[in-house]
Structure 1
C-alpha cells in the first residue's frame, strides 16, 4: 500500500528531477555577421543550430541571429568574444589579435586545391589558427570556405595596376585588405556596408573590393557592371564558440557541438566551389561582365602585392607565422 508520505516523497523527487532538467537546459545565441536568412551563411548557422538541438535532445536550444540583427561586423564579433554571442560563423576581425590577419594573406593560394589542403583538419593553416583563436578566448572548429574574391565595379574595370589607378573601391576595415587593394593600384575608401549601395549609386565609390562574387551578385548586381576575379584572397568564414561557454558544456554536449560543426564544414567544403561557379554564371546571366585575369596578369599582380604587403604582414603577425606561409604558398 502506498502511503501518503510515500506519495509526497515521490512528488518531491519528481519535482527535483524536473527542476534539475530545467537547470541543465539552456538557450545559446548563434549568429553570423555576413549573411541574411536564406543566404548560404544563414542556412549554415540554421543547420548547425538544428543539429545541436537535436543531438542534445533539446538540452541546448539556439536563438539565431542573421547579418546586422545584432549590429555590424565588428559589434557582433565583440559580442562573441565577450560571451554575449555563444556560437558564430564569422569573418573575423583583427582588433583582438592581429595574428588573425594570416587568413587574409594576399596571394597565399591561387587554386581551390591549395586552399583546401591548408584548411582541412590537420592542415598547416588550420593548426596555426587553433592556437590563435584560443588566445582570444574562442574555441576554433574550422573553416567555412566561400572562394576567391575579386573586385566588382561600375563603368570600368582593371586587371593590372595601371588600369586600376582611376578606380575607387570600398574595402572592409580589416588588415590587410586596404593595403592589398592599394598595392593592386586602386584608390580605396572606407564605406559602411549598409551604405555601400547608395555610395556606388551616387558615385562616391566605383565599386566594392575584397568580396566573393555572391555578395556582389546578391546586393549590387543591378548597379555594378564588372567583376574581376583577381583572387587576391581566399575568403572563408570560421566556425567558433566562446571558450568560456564551451567549457561549461558537458563532454557529451561538446561532442555534439563539435560533430555538428564538422558536418557543416564538410558540407561547405564539398559544395562551395560549385556554388561559387554558379554565382559567376548568374552574374553573367544578368548581363554583367565577368573577367578572369590571364596567368600573366595574375602572376604580375601577385608579385607586386606580395612585395608590398607581405613585409607589412610580417611586422604585424610575426616572422614565426609568416615563415610557414612563405614555405607553403603558391609559387609563381
Structure 2
C-alpha cells in the first residue's frame, strides 16, 4: 500500500515538472478533418449546378429543340440555358422544350418568323434559314466545303461568322443568330445494304426540301423525297423512303438504326448549327441582358466544341457493337465530283464568300 502511494506521488511530481519546464505533448495530426475536407471538395466538384432562383421580374424565353437532350445539340442547349440563368442572376430563364414537342425546325421557324412570341429561341441547322432568305448561311451546307472540324471552327470563331449570324436580322427576317456550333459530319443511312456511291442510284432519300440537299441527292443518282423529321422513322419503316442522312449522334438517339441499320461515312456536310432569337424577344432585353446572351453563347459554343468529336466517336463504337453496318469511304473523289454542279449553281453571286470559307482550312 505504501509503495502504491509513493508511486502515485512520484507520477504527479514528474507531471508537474514537465509542465513547469514548458514542455507539451505533441498534437496528433488532424487526419479525420482533412479526410472529410477532401470528401467535401470531391462532392462539390461532381454535384450538378444548383438551380438558379428566378428573379421576381424574370423574363422567360421559350427555346425549341427538335432533338432529345442527350444529343450533342441537346447538351449544348442545356449548357447555354445554365450559362444564361447563372450570368443573369435569374433575370432571364430559358424554358427549353426538346424532342420536337414544339414541331419540326421548319414549323418552329414559321412560328418565330410569323411573330406572336410563342417561341422566342431555337437551335437550328445553320442551313435551315436558306428558305427564308439566308443566302450566306446556305454556303455552310455546301457538300464537302469543310474538310475538317478545325476548318469549321476557324470559321465559327471568325469575324465572318458574326456577319453570317446577323444576316437574317439585317434582311428583315425577324430573327438573329447568337452563336455557332456543330453536331458532327452528316452521313447517309439506309434500310437495305449499300456498298459505295453507286448503291444510291434509284433510291428515295429523305430531304427537308432544301435546295442544296436536293441537288446532292440528285447528284448521287437518287430521288429527293420530302419528309418531315418527325415522320422520318415511320417513312423508313414503311418504305416511303429508302434512306436519309443525319449526324451520327442524332442517328442513334432517334432510333433510326432500328429501321435503317446501314450507314456509310461519306461526311458530305459538317452539321453546322446555330442558336437564333427573334428580334421581338431580343428587343425586350436590356443591353446588359443582351450581353449575357452573347457571353453565354460563347461559353456554350466552346463547350460544344469540347464534346462533339468525343461523343460522336463514342456513339460510333456503340453502333458497331449494336450490329449496325458501318461502311468506310476510302476515296471521296467520286462523291466530290458528283456534287460539283450543285456547288457551282449555288455560289453564284456569293463567290467571294465561298472562297473565304474554303481558304479558312
Q: TM-score, normalised by structure 1?
A: 0.82
Alignment of 1:230-249 (within 5 A): 230-249=266-285
Runs of 4 or more consecutive aligned structure 1 residues displaced over 6 Å after TM superposition: none
Between 1:41-50 and 1:144-153, the stretch displaced more is 41-50
For the 8 Å contact 1:101–1:175, the answer to whether it is kept is no
| Residue 262 of structure 1, CA deviation | 0.9
Q: Residue in 2 aligned with 1:290?
A: 326
* Bigger radius of gyration among the two: 2
| Residue 53 of structure 1, CA deviation | 2.0
Q: Residue in 1 aligned with 2:179?
A: 142
> Which of 183, 188, 191 matches 1:154?
191
Alignment of 1:143-292 (within 5 A): 143-160=180-197, 162-209=198-245, 211-218=246-253, 219-292=255-328
Alignment of 1:1-332 (within 5 A): 22=56, 24-32=57-65, 34-81=66-113, 82=115, 83-91=117-125, 92-99=128-135, 100-122=137-159, 124=160, 126-135=161-170, 136-160=173-197, 162-209=198-245, 211-218=246-253, 219-294=255-330, 296=331, 298-306=332-340, 308-314=341-347, 318-319=348-349, 321-326=350-355, 328-329=357-358
Cα distance in 2 for residues equivalent to 1:212 and 1:46: 19
Cα distance in 1 for residues equivalent to 2:351 and 2:343: 8
Q: Residue in 1 aligned with 2:49?
A: none
* CA deviation profile, 1:15-74 (whole Å, cap 9, x unmatched): xxxxxx85x432221222x21233332332222222222222222222221132112221
For the 8 Å contact 1:114–1:330, the answer to whether it is kept is no
Cα distance in 2 for residues equivalent to 1:158 and 1:325: 32
Gaps (5+ residues) in structure 2? 1-54
Cα distance in 2 for residues equivalent to 1:157 and 1:277: 22
Cα RMSD for the two superposed structures: 2.2
Q: TM-score, normalised by structure 2?
A: 0.76
For the 8 Å contact 2:108–2:122, the answer to whether it is kept is no
Cα distance in 1 for residues equivalent to 2:242 and 2:359: 30
For the 8 Å contact 2:68–2:98, the answer to whether it is kept is yes
Cα distance in 2 for residues equivalent to 1:48 and 1:68: 18
| Aligned residues between the structures | 298
Cα distance in 2 for residues equivalent to 1:134 and 1:28: 18
Cα distance in 2 for residues equivalent to 1:329 and 1:229: 22
Q: Residue in 2 aligned with 1:8?
A: none
